[in-house]
Amino acid sequence: MVADIGYGVIFIAFLVALYSVGAAIYGDRTKSAGWVESARRAMLLLWPLISISAAALIYLLVTNHFEVSFVYEVISRDMPTYLKITAWWGGQAGSLVFWSWLMSAFASLVTLRKWDRDREFLPWVIVVTSLTTAFFLALVVFYENPFAEFWRGPDGKLIADASGNAIKSMFAPMLNASLAIPTDGNGLNPFLRNPGMIIHPPMLYLGFVSFVIPFAFAIAALITGRTDDRWIRITRRWTLWAWLFLSCGLVLGSRWAYDVLGWGGFWGWDPVEIAALMPWLTGTAFLHSVMIQEKRGMLKQWNMLLIILTYALVIFGTFLTRSGILSSVHAFAESAIGPAFFTFIGITFVGSIALLIYRWPDLRGETEMKSMLSREALFLLNNLLFISVLVVCFWGVVFPIISEIFTGQKVTVGPPFYQTATGPLFAGLMLLMGVAPLSAWGHSSLKTLGRAIWKSVIAALVITIFLFFTYTANPIALVAFFLVAMVILVTLQEFWRGTAARMKAQSENAFTAFWRLVGRDRRRYGGYVIHLSMMLMAIGILGINLFQIQTQGTVPVNSSLSLGGYTVKYDSVAQFPGPDGQQVTRAVVSVYQGNNYLGDLYPRIDYYPTEKQNMTIPGDRPTLKDDLYIILVDWQPTSTNGATFKIFVNPLVNWLWIGAIIFLFGIIFAAWPDRDAERVPARSHHIHQPDANQTGAAD
Amino acid sequence: MNESTLSTPRRGVPLWAQIIIWVSLLALLGIVAVELNRSQQGQVGRGDKISNFTMPLFSGYELNGQNQFNLADYHGKVVMVNFWASWCKPCEQEAADLEQAWQFYRSDGRVVFVGVDYVDTEPKARAYLAKFSITFPNGPDLGTRVSQLFRIKGVPETYFIDPQGILQYAQIGPFSSVDDIKSIINPLLK
Amino acid sequence: MSKMQNSKTQGRKTQNAIALPILLALTCGLVLASQPYQKVFAQQPVPTPSDDQVNQIAHQLYCPVCEDTHLDVCPTEACRQWRDLIRQQLSQGWTEQQIKQYFVQQYGVRVLDEPPQTGLNWLIYILPPVIILAGAFILFRALRMWTKPGSASAASGSKDETVKDEYVARFEEELKKRK
């Protein structure tokens, strides 16, 4: 009954979404505000409808209705309630409903803003967002229905296909059929029962979904011919939030991999990770490039292309991870939604490109640059580098497909390719991060840049030489650390110069000057904080990639293993049931550095009998200097006679997570509206004091 | 003010650029479509012609004294191709049944059994074969070429090819009994 | 006026001439330097190879059966057998190259974490640098076109545009605040 309601409502939502698209197009063509308003209301109806369906699904999950196929697939009786709720996005069908729910929520948020100046955009924004929502709803309605149930024939036998797999159906497949109710479900994949994994998909989906909004406005701009940068100004904050969510999704996924997958790293360059990284790359390029359009009116065509690419990569990424196309030879889960995704991507991408080509002449801006070292030029170089990384990633993902088609040979493109190819590109981006803040809009020369940067360069060189003598002789590491130091110093210098200028001009003290400085231009200084946080994250990434050491060994109780100055002694092992139905094997190890006792760690193996799966949870000792990471190797027996441990020492990696938190603050700060322009006191001798570092106006 | 825009004529995207864009776009979509199609294909199905393949055989498990299996050599006979691996637990369920069926059919001369050891190591494979006293021809699927030909999705899977080289039956998963095997082969012998 | 422009042009040309090679050289240097720093040495026959030695090789191989899992972390029975196999081969004195070759022969080229540099596979290594260099070329040509001092009228024209844009921008900000 509840399942029927759930499906019925989703089906209605699908029809409403289609109506919304049609009404919006009709309303725009006939210049009828009434039809457009009707379309808008239809679109607003989507979120409540999908919420009802989602509520139905959650109800079914929480009350163990195993006759519903999705419930059977993702939960089991022994799971705690909160996990049953999060199982909503723990399987393909449910996660499609979740995607639609988020998409409709954001689309509704957009239409609730004031539209007075941009009435002509409204119909097309509705068309794009409703069309996307309709697509995902169509996938649910026609392909992956979470409400489909299991049935028995009138003879009581389970209705199944030739291989014995129960058939899932929304409606009774034959007369007098009744529901077949299994006693227990499969249970959620143990990997998904972890806090990091719980919020990682929602965060990623939020990022994907929110990038649809700038895309919708871009398409609206192209269709209506409003080729000025109005659409960019409207979506400026959306882009920032979209970028925030997507970045968080990526970081959370990395943290989860580090915490739970037990291979001592956080990014494996596997196709699913890359599928989520690619829209982030174009999104970051877009974030920078729109600033050029805002400040200098250039690159309108390029910005359109970037946002079109981002949307296409969002859908393409979702497609890659769901369609089975990237799986290895054991593609047990080819899904029928592959072709549907492919058609949707094909149509939307081809349509967007065609639209862009059509409007190409209207998008010509006043492209005039004074110098190759101006901020515009450097931002363009930034874009080139991001797109280059994208090319590397895309090619690495697509090449195995090409190889298989043309030579019949399956190849794997693994981490070495990506690391070698993207390393220098990221280094180039770091170099730019150090130079671009000092470059001015419009005009910069080697001399002015040199003057601004030489102190940081010298200081960074000193730091690098110091590291050479105390830490490492690895040339890549030294170059990388030099760049990191330079960027940090340049960025801090920017804060300092601005503060100092205010202190002198407004006679404020350092604290007030700093506060007012960043408050008046949150986007710029938030951006600098983001750059700083990226450098902290770079330190973490460099540390673990260049200096990680590991060892594995089997030791009996009271013996120890050594690595990197640490000694790990195996103390004891215990087995006991866990709170989630798992069987836990937990070892206690004590950690020493020399003769110093540092503490105990508890690496463990959780065995889930229903899914017959092991989870290796590391014992982890994080410090700023490094991370001691110990796992019990789960394919070897664990007893007091001998347990096999794998130990990693990951230098500097915790700077990655610290940087990520600061990153979060940086984006929130950058997205926050600026404080009101200051009311300059009447007696002040300055009417408007330009900042010392806003050299654009000084020209 | 707008001298610059007046002096440069309004140009769309030049034709050569459009051609490049559309061709590469269509090529990309084409490649993805082809791959999608392939990944949607299941295993080889009934009625498919099985192309010829060769496979080395473990020593001690040759067929007619030959240590290479060549499908073309057995045109005119019923060929049963069984995919297994020593690390595959369900394969053990059917191992004895397969050997029993082989003992039943080997003197007939019109039936050939060949076992394909999928992604395995020779010592473990031999131990498995010895454990179930398997005598029908077996060999390693070097480079996974044969399994790719049949597009198997897992092990065990067994394929029955009729004397004309056409696939007649695909068994996904282990057999439950010898009679099941016989009930598939017997019709093919008519 | 023209003399000043000429010297300015000269100055810009010089700075362009310096800036580009510096950036290019840095990129090339980084490409060359980013080759794997740690070289792998051939294994000598050892009595019982340690887990670390096995893992070092296993990490460069993918599990032939599982999906996207390196051989050193794969927990299945089959992978355990393969790691034992590597240990055995190491104790017999096989080199890393030989072990990898064996795995390729047995299970196909996909067990390697990089396509071997044969046949069509050179495409994977060639194409990204080609596309990136093409992109860089397009970019620099565009920059050159945009920074051409010839369109002096356009320069002043667009400077007005720029300034006008800034005023417009500030005006719009004011409007927004008043809403």
Contact A325, B36 (CB under 8 A): yes
Q: Is residue A695 part of a domain?
A: no
Q: Which of A322, A401, A635 to mutate to test the interface with B (most CBs of B within 10 A)?
A: A401
Q: Is residue A51 scored above 90 in pLDDT?
A: yes
Helix (H) or strand (E) holding B54: strand B54-56
Integer Cα distance of A320 and B35 in angstroms: 12
Integer Cα distance of B165 and B149 in angstroms: 14
CB contact under 8 A, C136 and A370: no
The reply to whether A200 and A145 lie within a common domain is no
- pLDDT band at A550; cut points 50, 70, 90: very high
Please tell me if residue A173 touches chain C, with a CB cutoff of 8 Å.
no
Q: Is residue B108 part of a domain?
A: yes
Q: Is residue B48 part of a domain?
A: no
Which of helix, strand or coil describes residue A368? coil
Chain C CA closest to residue B119: C107
Domain termination site, one of A442, A470, A489: A442
The reply to whether A646 and A583 lie within a common domain is yes
The reply to whether A260 and A142 lie within a common domain is no
The reply to whether A97 and A26 lie within a common domain is yes
Domain termination site, one of A141, A172, A188: A188
The residue among A18 and C121 whose pLDDT is bigger is A18
DSSP of A528-586 = HHHHHHHHHHHHHHHHHHHH-EEEEEEE-TT-EEEETTEEEEEEEEEEEE-TTS-EEEE
The reply to whether B28 and B98 lie within a common domain is no
Q: What's the CATH code of the domain at B67?
A: 3.40.30.10
Q: Is residue A699 scored above 50 in pLDDT?
A: no
Poorest-pLDDT segment among A52-66, A123-137, A162-176: A162-176
The reply to whether B146 and B78 lie within a common domain is yes
**pLDDT confidence of residue A552:** 92
Tokens 């490039």 belong to residue: A289
Nearest to C30 among A233, A296, A424 (CB): A424
The reply to whether B105 and B129 lie within a common domain is yes
Query: What's the number of CA atoms in the CB half-sphere (13 Å) around residue B164?
Result: 9
The residue among A543 and C177 whose pLDDT is bigger is A543
> Which ipTM was obtained for this model?
0.82
Number of domains observed in the structure of chain A: 3
Please tell me if residue B87 touches chain C, with a CB cutoff of 8 Å.
yes
Please tell me if residue C153 touches chain A, with a CB cutoff of 8 Å.
no
Please tell me if residue B89 touches chain A, with a CB cutoff of 8 Å.
no
Nearest to C160 among B1, B85, B142 (CB): B1
Global confidence as pTM: 0.86
The reply to whether B91 and B142 lie within a common domain is yes
Q: Is residue A679 part of a domain?
A: no
The reply to whether A164 and A258 lie within a common domain is no
Ordered by start, the domain boundaries in chain C are 1-35, 51-114, 120-148, 151-179
Q: Which of A234, A290, A369 to mutate to test the interface with C (most CBs of C within 10 A)?
A: A369
Chain C CA closest to residue B56: C106
Domain that holds residue B154: 54-189
Please tell me if residue C62 touches chain A, with a CB cutoff of 8 Å.
yes
Residues of B in contact with A368 (CB under 8 A): 4
CB contact under 8 A, A553 and C50: yes
Chain C CA closest to residue A324: C67
Residues of A in contact with B5 (CB under 8 A): 364
The reply to whether A352 and A308 lie within a common domain is yes
**pLDDT confidence of residue C21:** 54
**pLDDT confidence of residue B4:** 42
Which of 93-112 (C) contact A at CB < 8 A? 108-112
Calculate the average pLDDT of chain A: 87
Nearest to C15 among A272, A446, A552 (CB): A446
The residue among B40 and B68 whose pLDDT is bigger is B68
CB contact under 8 A, A366 and C162: yes
CA distances (Å), origin C35, targets A274, A378, A624, B134? 22, 27, 28, 50
Q: Is residue C7 scored above 60 in pLDDT?
A: no
Which of 14-73 (B) contact C at CB < 8 A? none
The reply to whether B63 and B128 lie within a common domain is yes
Segment A545-551 mean pLDDT: 93
The reply to whether A214 and A181 lie within a common domain is no
Chain A CA closest to residue C14: A446
Nearest to C143 among A369, A407, A413 (CB): A369
CA distances (Å), origin A324, targets A144, A343, C68, C107? 14, 16, 13, 21
Q: What is the pLDDT of residues B146-158, one digit of tens each?
A: 988 898 888 899 9
Q: Is residue A23 part of a domain?
A: yes
Poorest-pLDDT segment among A1-10, B6-15, B54-63, C119-128: B6-15
The number of angstroms, rounded, from the C-alpha of B126 to the middle of its chain's C-alpha atoms is 22
Q: What is the pLDDT of residues A56-108, one digit of tens each?
A: 999 999 999 998 999 998 888 888 888 899 999 888 889 899 999 999 999 99
- The residues that bridge with A568 in the sheet, in sequence order, are A561, A591
The tokens for C139 are 């970019």
Fold of C51-114: Helicase, Ruva Protein; domain 3 (1.10.8)
Q: Is residue A93 part of a domain?
A: yes
The reply to whether A183 and A214 lie within a common domain is no
The reply to whether A114 and A135 lie within a common domain is yes
Size of interface B-C (CB pairs under 8 A): 42
Domain termination site, one of A442, A469, A491: A442
The reply to whether B9 and B99 lie within a common domain is no
Task: Name the residue among A391, A394, A247, A429 with its Cα closest to residue A317.
Answer: A394
Q: Is residue C2 scored above 60 in pLDDT?
A: no
Chain A CA closest to residue C49: A553
* φ, ψ (nearest 5 deg) of residue B168: -110, -25
The reply to whether A117 and A227 lie within a common domain is no
> Sheet holding A149-152: strands in order across?
A168-169, A149-152, A178-179
Number of domains observed in the structure of chain B: 2
Segment A277-293 mean pLDDT: 92
The reply to whether A360 and A401 lie within a common domain is yes
Domain that holds residue A268: 189-442
Chain B CA closest to residue C80: B87
Q: Is residue B184 part of a domain?
A: yes
Segment A486-513 mean pLDDT: 88
Torsion region of C108: left, alpha or beta (phi above 0 gives left; psi -120 to 50 gives alpha): left
The reply to whether B62 and B143 lie within a common domain is yes
CB contact under 8 A, C16 and A270: no
Q: What is the pLDDT of residues A402-422, one digit of tens each?
A: 888 888 888 889 899 999 999
Q: Is residue C159 scored above 50 in pLDDT?
A: no
